[in-house]
Structure 1
Amino acid sequence: MLERWDRTEASDFYVPEDRSGPQILSGLVALAEQNANARGVVDLTTTLGAEAVDPDHPAHAYVTDRLERMRLVVADALRRAEAAGELRADVDIADAAAGIVALVEGVPLQWLYAPSTIDMAGALATMIQALLLVPLPEWRPRD
């Protein structure tokens, strides 16, 4: 089920070849916004992510790969922003990518406990925007 979710709902985020760095990051924020309407998926991914830390868990390799792919895509987006002069000069790309992925994985846990208080997309957008020198663009799905 999670592989299908990644192939369909998250595909624009994972296949960013024709997007700028800020557009890719904006897509990640849009994905967080979309997840706010998919509590079951958020619950499943959060629970599975915690359980799969055990190397013997059947989903361990899947979650490990998923997190690595997310870090690579985010790092690539940050490099694109850097090359275009859109990233703050003091940003360490590897650390920022790990931090953004940590937010993607951690803010949903807070949201599950307090959905009326936590804005997953807003929290993510605020932290990403702090790294950029340009505004996050409005997300537009692929045609």
Structure 2
Amino acid sequence: MSDESVDATDAHLLGIIDEYMGAFEPDPAESVGLRERILQIVREDAALAPATKLTTERGNPFRISTAEVRSIIRGAVDAVPGVRARSVTATPAGDPEGSAVDITMTVMMSAGTAFVSAAEDVRRSVADALAAHLGIPATRIDVTVEDVFVDEEGSHG
């Protein structure tokens, strides 16, 4: 990567960080070194793995590690009782593209878990996590049960 492209990338990232900081107004004591830390994290992610292209509410495109997006979604799924994430695909959507995301996932459910209510809990949890972590809404969240597991804690030996 040339110094010129790094400078352009840093300038673009600083614009996104300024947008974030302007929208959320963090406590000045908490923001010391925040810009440099965010730049460091983004550089590390960009160097390590494939990225998903998304867009902020104000239309600034950004890239985030696809693994990180999947991790956010898996964490949200695993937070739902009786459900465990398996495969996760996040596809940029919306207008402009990347201003939202379509999610397709497979999950395992504990035997005896009611699918309809658990699937709604999964959708709500994933949508909340995407909004909280990325500021991006989900336009679609497709949930397919791929497997059933027995919760050992609830079984009698």
Q: Structure with the greater relative contact order (CA < 8 A, sep ≥ 6): 1 or 2?
A: 1
Whichever of the two has the greater Rg, that structure is 2
TM-score, length basis structure 1: 0.31
TM-score, normalising length: structure 2: 0.28
| Bigger helix share | 1
Larger % of strand: which? 2
